[in-house]
Amino acid sequence: MRTSRIVGITFALLCMVAAAATLAQAGLNTGFDVWDGASVLLIAITTGWLAWGAAQAFIGLPALAPAPRTTLMNGYFPATAILVPICNENPVEVCARVQAMRQSMVRAGVPADFAILSDTSDPDALRTERAALLLLFDQNDGLSTVYYRVREDRRGRKAGNVEDFIRRSGGNYTYVVLLDADSLMEGEAIRHLVARMEANPGLGLLQTLPRIVGAETAFGRAMQFSASFHSPVFARGLARMQGPAGPFWGHNAIARVRALAQCCGLPELTGPPPFGGTILSHDYVEAALLVRGGWQVEMDPRIDGSFEEGPENLLAFARRDRRWCQGNLQHIRLLNAPGLRKWSRFVFFQGIVSYLVSLAWGAFLIVSLLAAATAGAPNYFPDAYQLFPVFPDDRTFQIVALACGVGGLLLLPKLAIYAESVLTGRAYQFGGTLRALGSVLAETLLTALIAPLMLMYQSRAAAEVLSGRDGGWPATARGEGRLGWVEGWRAGRWITLFGVAVSIFVLRAAPDLVVWLLPVTVPMIIAPFLITVTSWPMLGGVFGVPQETSLPPVVADYRRNLARDTDPKGTADGAIARTA
Amino acid sequence: MAPTHDLTPLAPRPAPLDMPRQVLEHAARPSTFEMFSRLFLRNI
């Protein structure tokens, strides 16, 4: 663990220094000015961040040892509750998921209760929710009881919702499995999690790596492919570096109730949002507090049978990212929190930088443009009595080297992961070596196309938070899928305007840079088109994942339940129709 | 309109646990003026 951390940080620092030195050298050739100084600082930050991500992938390339085979003795199963916090969710989908997990738990012989913890506030939504969930309470499988309660004092949002359960009913249980409204878990996975907790009394929380399921759009399926193909390797790297101070992502994890009660009563931060008030990204904080309290927090990407859904279009992704941005930047307040381990502080720092880095990329582009625009004409005869002209040094070599280095940090991890998948045979689960390569290339192309858009969205989010604007906690838009042209235009027109403005500026002030900036300006200008088109359904072709070719039983059950409970019009909102 | 049902009996069984509020912020440091006033202006 310590070696992995040292290797990762050293690699990032070396890349940072190399990039800064290369750009500084290019600046020195032509007289180092204030723009060069700013560029060097910004390229150091951005390259360091890219290298840190690449280091995680490289460290994760070697396979982990097989997951420990832990079993529970003599049919003993400690009291466990599966917590499903919901807030204005589609209740028919929630109902279908809980039913699917119950079916899976019956097959696996896992006795655990469900607690649906509702923070739904809208009275109509609440009525629909109650009516839809009635179906669950009527069923009796002899293994689990489904509880349901609505919280009227909705303080603390999701973390407060779970905390309320622990405070009122936590004494009934040894473990809680924490889910999101869109989570699914196989009964066998729950059994494994409980057995792992039983085997290690010092383990406070065990996080799984959920696989994304159910994506149908081009954007969603690219994310689903990336999460299935690339994420396990990144997660192995992360697990190696984090060790027992590992991450908690807020759902698809099991926690020891005693540890949660002891360490995870989150306070409200002093001052108003966005930096004060309720802690938004509570999961990182809870992980840090558990570690502070002496508990181990582990993430194990080897655990199968854990699923979630992802955003289906760029707009939904950006909306979620806005919330995460505010949550992560709020951690600035916690960097100095008393008693935290150094690594926990570093994890906060890492989360903060992940959002500030977009601003740094944007600033780097602006500084580069201003430097080019304000550069005077070369002076070939700097001395008064000079026989031969002095030609300015060519910076092309350093700039090309820098571009190759940055491109390499972006591409090499993906190519290395592809090579790993071929060597280990993992690529066959993704349709074979050729199809997996096609998917990797298509995902890389799509990522490159939407990267400037993500940069704009993230920069706007970070700028809003830093200027003190609270984004609140917008409900997660699940399954909104396909966007119309008007929605795409509304979501991306400001990016188009910005792209056009930058292009005009570059054409007038530094025409030599126009070609270099095309990979950034073209996607910006066509942002509404990209946002709309990537939200279109895309079935088959590239981006195939194992969970599509062989549907996990719990996901298959969920779809069957949903189809049964959906009204004939096809809207998964037939709760009222069913009970009427 | 969907019928409303009394779902109170469906709430999880009570078994309260103590969950202390964690301390995440250092106590605010007194300003220089407050320090000065504590030292010298106590009776004012």
Q: State the complex-level ipTM.
A: 0.80
The CATH number of whichever domain residue A199 belongs to comes to 3.90.550.10
A433 burial class (0-12, 13-18, 19+ CB within 10 angstroms)?
A: middle
| Sign of CA pseudo-dihedral A161, A166, A169, A172 | positive
| Chain position carrying tokens 């940072």 | A16
The secondary structure element, H or E, covering residue A135 is helix A123-138
Nearest CB to A163: which of B7, B19, B26?
B19
Contact assignment for B23 to A338 by CB distance below 8 Å? yes
Q: How many CB pairs under 8 A join A and B?
A: 100
Contact assignment for B15 to A166 by CB distance below 8 Å? no
The stretches of A331-472 forming alpha helices (DSSP H) are 342-374, 396-424, 433-466
Contact assignment for A261 to B10 by CB distance below 8 Å? no
| Chain position carrying tokens 């996080």 | A207
Of A126-135, A369-378, A517-526, the one with minimum mean pLDDT is A369-378
Listed residue (A344, A150, A161, A352) closest to A266, CA to CA: A161
Listed residue (A287, A308, A307) closest to A299, CA to CA: A287
pLDDT at A139 over 90: no
Cβ(A344)–Cβ(A291) below 8 Å: yes
Q: Per residue in A74-104, pLDDT tens?
A: 778 999 999 999 999 999 999 999 999 999 9
Tokens of A339: 């008693």
Return the pLDDT at A577. 34
Structure letter (DSSP) for residue A277: B
Cβ(A161)–Cβ(B35) below 8 Å: no
pLDDT at A579 over 50: no
Return the pLDDT at A571. 46
What is the spatial distance between Cα A176 and Cα A169, in angstroms, rounded to a whole number? Answer: 11
Which residue in B has a C-alpha nearest to residue A290's C-alpha? Answer: B22
**How many Cβ atoms are within 10 Å of A59's Cβ, its own excluded?**
22
| Chain position carrying tokens 């955003």 | A311
Q: Kindly state whether residue A305 falls inside one of the protein's structural domains.
A: yes
Return the pLDDT at B43. 58
Band (A387; pLDDT cuts 50, 70, 90): low
Mean pLDDT, range A232-252, rounded to an integer: 93
Return the pLDDT at A69. 83
Band (A570; pLDDT cuts 50, 70, 90): very low
What is the spatial distance between Cα A549 and Cα A225, in angstroms, rounded to a whole number? Answer: 13
Return the pLDDT at A553. 97
B31 touching chain A per CB within 8 A: no
Mean pLDDT of chain A: 90
What is the spatial distance between Cα A167 and Cα A479, in angstroms, rounded to a whole number? Answer: 33
pLDDT at A516 over 90: no
Q: Kindly state whether residue A558 falls inside one of the protein's structural domains.
A: no
Q: Kindly state whether residue A493 falls inside one of the protein's structural domains.
A: no
Q: Rounded to the nearest 10 degrees, how much is the dihedral formed by the CA atoms of A178, A106, A570, A320? A: 10
Cβ(A134)–Cβ(A91) below 8 Å: no
pLDDT at A389 over 80: no
CA angle A190–A196–A202, rounded 5-degree value: 130
Return the pLDDT at B4. 47
Listed residue (A490, A481, A478) closest to A536, CA to CA: A481
Percent of chain A with pLDDT over 70: 92
pLDDT at A479 over 70: no
What is the spatial distance between Cα A151 and Cα A210, in angstroms, rounded to a whole number? Answer: 28
Band (A43; pLDDT cuts 50, 70, 90): very high
pLDDT at A374 over 60: yes
Return the pLDDT at B6. 61
Return the pLDDT at A376. 65
Which residue in A has a C-alpha nearest to residue B25's C-alpha? Answer: A337
Cβ(A158)–Cβ(A87) below 8 Å: yes
Q: Kindly state whether residue A210 falls inside one of the protein's structural domains.
A: yes
Mean pLDDT, range A286-303, rounded to an integer: 96
Nearest CB to A579: which of B2, B14, B26?
B2
Residues of chain B in contact with residue A336, where contact means CB-CB under 8 angstroms, are 26
Residues of chain A in contact with residue B29, where contact means CB-CB under 8 angstroms, are none
**How many Cβ atoms are within 10 Å of B8's Cβ, its own excluded?**
9
Return the pLDDT at A480. 63
Nearest CB to B14: which of A168, A336, A575?
A168
**b or e along A284-299 (b: 16 or more beta carbons within 10 Å of the residue's beta carbon)?**
bbbbbbbbbeebbbbb
B27 touching chain A per CB within 8 A: no
Structure letter (DSSP) for residue A207: E
CA angle A523–A53–A419, rounded 5-degree value: 90
Return the pLDDT at B31. 77
Contact assignment for B18 to A261 by CB distance below 8 Å? yes
Q: Which range among A26-30, A218-222, A401-405 has the greatest average pLDDT? A: A218-222
Which residue in B has a C-alpha nearest to residue A293's C-alpha? Answer: B22
- Number of structural domains (chain A) is 1
Percent of chain A with pLDDT over 90: 74
Under DSSP, is residue A345 helix (H, G, I), strand (E, B) or coil?
Answer: helix
Which residue in B has a C-alpha nearest to residue A123's C-alpha? Answer: B4
C-alpha neighbours within 13 Å on the C-beta side of residue A126: 16
pLDDT at A131 over 70: yes
**How many Cβ atoms are within 10 Å of A255's Cβ, its own excluded?**
28
Q: Per residue in B5-29, pLDDT tens?
A: 566 778 999 999 999 999 999 877 7
What is the spatial distance between Cα A389 and Cα A383, in angstroms, rounded to a whole number? Answer: 10
- Residue A189 belongs to what domain range? 78-214+239-275+285-310
Give backbone dihedrals phi and psi of A95, rounded to 5 degrees, phi first.
-60, -45
Q: Kindly state whether residue A231 falls inside one of the protein's structural domains.
A: no
Q: Per residue in A17-29, pLDDT tens?
A: 999 998 888 777 6
Return the pLDDT at A437. 96
Q: Kindly state whether residue A519 falls inside one of the protein's structural domains.
A: no
Q: Rounded to the nearest 10 degrees, how much is the dihedral formed by the CA atoms of A337, A343, A344, A347? A: 120
Contact assignment for A130 to B10 by CB distance below 8 Å? no
Which residue in B has a C-alpha nearest to residue A132's C-alpha? Answer: B2
DSSP-derived pairing of the beta strands A80-86 and A175-178:
parallel
Which residues have a Cβ under 8 Å from the Cβ of A470 and sit 6 or more positions away? A272, A273, A274, A326
Return the pLDDT at A575. 40
CA angle A295–A299–A305, rounded 5-degree value: 125
What is the spatial distance between Cα A505 and Cα A181, in angstroms, rounded to a whole number? Answer: 46
Q: Rounded to the nearest 10 degrees, how much is the dihedral formed by the CA atoms of A107, A111, A117, A122? A: 40
Q: Kindly state whether residue A300 falls inside one of the protein's structural domains.
A: yes
Distance from the Cα of A290 to chain B's closest Cα (Å) equals 11
Return the pLDDT at A2. 82
Tell me which of A124, A172, A258, A278 to substitute to probe the interface with B (most B C-beta atoms closer than 10 Å). A172
Residues of chain A in contact with residue B1, where contact means CB-CB under 8 angstroms, are 127, 576
Cβ(B24)–Cβ(A267) below 8 Å: yes
Q: Kindly state whether residue A142 falls inside one of the protein's structural domains.
A: yes
What is the spatial distance between Cα A469 and Cα A456, in angstroms, rounded to a whole number? Answer: 17
